[in-house]
Amino acid sequence: MVRKLNRIRVLFNVFADVDNTNAQSLNARDLALRLDPKRFTSTLFVTSRPDPRLLNRPGVRLIRLPRRLRSLVIAPHLVWGPYDILFYPPLDHLLVWYNLASWLGTPKAIVMTVEGMAQQIEALPPKIMDRFLKLLRTADATYAISPFVAETVLREFGMTIGSIPIGVDTSLFAPTDRAGRQEPAKVLCVASIQPHKQIHLLLDLARRIPAQRAEFHVIGDAIGSTSYRDALLKRKQEENLRHVSFHGRLSQPEVSQWMRACDIFVLPSQLEGTPKVTLEAAATGLPCIVFRDYGTPSVLDGVTGFQVKDLDEMTERLWLLLNDDEFRLRLGLAAIRHIQSFNWDAVTKQWEEAFEAAVGAKT
């Protein structure tokens, strides 16, 4: 039976620093902010500057980590910490420690999410993939971030799991009036600069569409090796793609400002779950063009944007939006309406029910 009197204590295994743009960190912070403080207590780790929204927030506790030997602080919380739920369990060496010592520690319900397709899971380093699959089979509750991702887990791993969508802060990513804007249109992409994000396809689009019709803006920076980013910058210079601009990594408020200033959103990656940036873009009224490979629920094909099969179709759809301002604005308004169901307030209610169910099943 789910407890009625005591708060459910949730340990979010993330770093809640203000400059952390990792999707799990962003999701955890937005969720912790909205969980009912009368029913839940949320604990998150901080390494430097905490997200100021979390400071002095009822029901939110921050644990500051030292610069060195952070694992020695995190591990006791994972094993012996007085929590009812461990959310976003670790996949690194901390998971090994947790498994070895958990029988001595405080029982917790492990709740995890599946945020990518089977191909992304199988592309993980062997040790990480092995740990992920073991967690997938042993976690007390697992949720995919979209029905499409849940289907891939069933098809590839034979497991049936539910789904809870990613949320979007519709107060930060708010609609704007785009009527009467002049050419060139501004085409935006927000993504980390990694090969699997396929930012080179955006340069291909820029080669096909002249500067007087569209500007292309990329927000994001390299993760790990900079060789892919350097190759993109070199190609931009060699091909004289002056209408392509790289802006590096920006804060969430800055990204929001860019989205409101732009006219179309394009994400050239073919390996995603539900890209959080497409939710944010749609919330501001941007029609999105994405690949159909991952069946994201954030883009309704032909209604709020387009899901395309290849670069040629992506180019065709982009030209369609560039040539028809009224159609582009109509898709943007439809996107704003559609994305209301992904508002964090609505998504948080689903997580509250999921957490209560997980604790109830554990006790």
Block mean pLDDT (10 aa), the chain, length 363: 69 94 91 97 96 95 93 88 92 65 73 84 81 87 94 91 95 94 95 95 97 97 94 97 96 95 97 93 98 95 98 98 97 97 96 95 78
- pLDDT for residue 138: 87
- pLDDT for residue 80: 86
Beta bridge partners of 190: 219
CA gap 141, 358 in Å, rounded:
6
- pLDDT for residue 51: 95
Domain ranges of the chain: 8-167+343-362, 185-341
**How many Cβ atoms from other residues are within 10 Å of residue 195's Cβ?**
12
- pLDDT for residue 219: 98
Distances (CA, A) of 6 to 37, 58, 290, 335, 359: 11, 15, 44, 40, 12
Give backbone dihedrals phi and psi of 198, rounded to 5 degrees, phi first. 60, 45
Please report, to the nearest 10 degrees, the dihedral formed by the alpha carbons of residues 319, 259, 276, 310 taken in order. 10
Strand, coil or helix: 110: strand
- pLDDT for residue 242: 96
The CATH number, out of the four listed (3.40.50.2000, 3.40.50.620, 1.10.287.70, 3.30.70.330), of the domain defined by the range 8-167+343-362: 3.40.50.2000
* Helices 276-283, 325-338: inter-axial angle, 10-degree rounding: 110
pTM comes to 0.89
Instruction: Check if CATH label 3.40.50.2000 holds for domain 185-341.
Output: yes
- The Cβ-side half-sphere exposure at 270, using a 13 Å CA radius, reads 12
The reply to whether 8-167+343-362 and 185-341 are identical in fold is yes
CA gap 138, 121 in Å, rounded:
17
